[in-house]
Amino acid sequence: MSAKSAISKEIFAPLDERMLGAVQVKRRTKKKIPFLATGGQGEYLTYICLSVTNKKPTQASITKVKQFEGSTSFVRRSQWMLEQLRQVNGIDPNRDSAEFDLLFENAFDQWVASSASEKCTFFQILHHTCQRYLTDRKPEFINCQSKIMGGNSILHSAADSVTSAVQKASQALNERGERLGRAEEKTEDMKNSAQQFAETAHKLAMKHKC
C-alpha cells in the first residue's frame, strides 16, 4: 500500500472523510522547534493533504500529516478549513518548480514538494476543490503556471467536444429536415401537376368522344 493510500485509510476514513489529494513536502526554511514539540522522535516525512467530509454539507480541509522515522503509522498534526486558506503561491509561473507557499489566516508555510509534477497535480486538485466548495471568499492563486489553473481543462475539452458534436449533429438533422421538406414540397407539386394533367386529358378525351 502506498503512503497516500495508507494516510487516507488511517487518518481520514475513520472520521468519514475522503482524501482528494496529497503532496509530500519539506520546509524550504527550517523552523526552530523545541525537542519536546516533536516528541523527541527524530526525523519525519511530511504530507499536506486535502480532504472533504462525506456528510452534507460538505466541508473541505487541509491537513498536515507526519510519519516519524521508524514508524509505519501516520500522525495528524495541523489542520485548517479550506475557508482559512488565503493565498497559494506557485513561486514561478514560467517553469516547473517544486516550491510553493501556503498562506492561511493564522499560519504561513514555505514548502518544497518531492517533485514539480506532484506539486502540479496537488495544485490542480486544490484549485478545482476551491472552485467547487467555496462560494464566498476564494484563495488567491499567484505565480502559478496556466496548466495548474486549468487543472480540469481535459474535462472542459471533452465537454466542448461533446457539445460541438451535438451541435453538428443537430445542424445536420436540421439541414436534412429542410431537404426532406423541400423534397416533400416538390413531390406534392408533382402530384398536383399530374392530377391536373390527368383531369385535363380526361376532359379532352371526353370532348373528342362526343
Q: What is the pLDDT of residues 180-204, one digit of tens each?
A: 767 777 777 777 767 776 676 666 6
Strand order of the β-sheet with 17-27 is 75-81, 60-68, 44-53, 17-27, 108-113, 99-104, 85-89, 140-142
For residue 106, the 8-state DSSP code is S
Please choose, from the candidates 91, 33, 88, 106, the residue with its C-alpha nearest in 3D space to the C-alpha of residue 66. Answer: 33
Helix, strand or coil for residue 148? helix
Cβ atoms of 111 and 48 within 8 Å: the answer is yes
CA distance 32 to 68: 17
107-151 residue pLDDT tens: 999 999 999 999 999 999 999 999 999 988 899 999 999 988 764
